[in-house]
Amino acid sequence: MQSFDEIYAQLLNWHRAKHQFAGDNTPSAASERFLAQLTNQILLPVAEHFGQLTITYGFTGPTLSRYIQRLSPAGTAPGLDQHACTEFNSKGSTICHRPGAACDFIVQGYEQRMHLVVQFICQQLSFDKLYFYGRNRPIHISVSDEPLRHLQIMQQSEYGRRYPGKKAFGDSAIALAKEL
């Protein structure tokens, strides 16, 4: 089973497999608190229940966020997605307008059945936002001090553009997850 330290290290170092980024990606103390919350409340229980998980998009500190926005911004929304936690941009404003922490992950052995992971999270765990992109895609999950328990089903157009489909909050999210 994966440990807290292994999962937390993936949250910080996920970019090494995807980008030639050599800058600093160290979180602030405030961001560390949310990243620990994400690890303890979501990622460890998922790993204990399903097995090994892989972070496909994790924490993005200010320098890494600028790098990604310059080189490969498609599909990212730093002002909304909570990957930057409580970090500040060069103008002194928080990168994301909603405090919390987020990551995208997939569970090994469930690459075609991620809907089962979504159902488990909606039924068993306290989360802020969960974006479901399909049974064979990583899910986006976040935590905050005021969890919305918001499940958003994402659709894809014939041209590959993603757009929001059905959504639900709280106990309605459990019912929507059962439809996946």
Residue 127 predicted with pLDDT over 90: yes
Asked if 58 and 27 count as a contact pair (C-beta separation under 8 A), the reply is: no
Residue 177 predicted with pLDDT over 90: yes
**Distance of alpha carbon 30 from alpha carbon 52, whole angstroms:** 27
Average confidence (pLDDT) over 8-21: 92
Asked if 90 and 16 count as a contact pair (C-beta separation under 8 A), the reply is: no
pTM: 0.94
Residue 142 pLDDT: 98
Could you tell me the CA-to-CA distances from 94 to 14, 32, 82 in Å, in that order?
A: 22, 15, 10
Residue 87 predicted with pLDDT over 80: yes
Question: What are the phi and psi torsion angles at 105 (to 5°)?
Answer: -150, 165
Residue 64 pLDDT: 92
Beta-carbon contacts of 5 under 8 Å, excluding residues fewer than 6 positions away, are: none
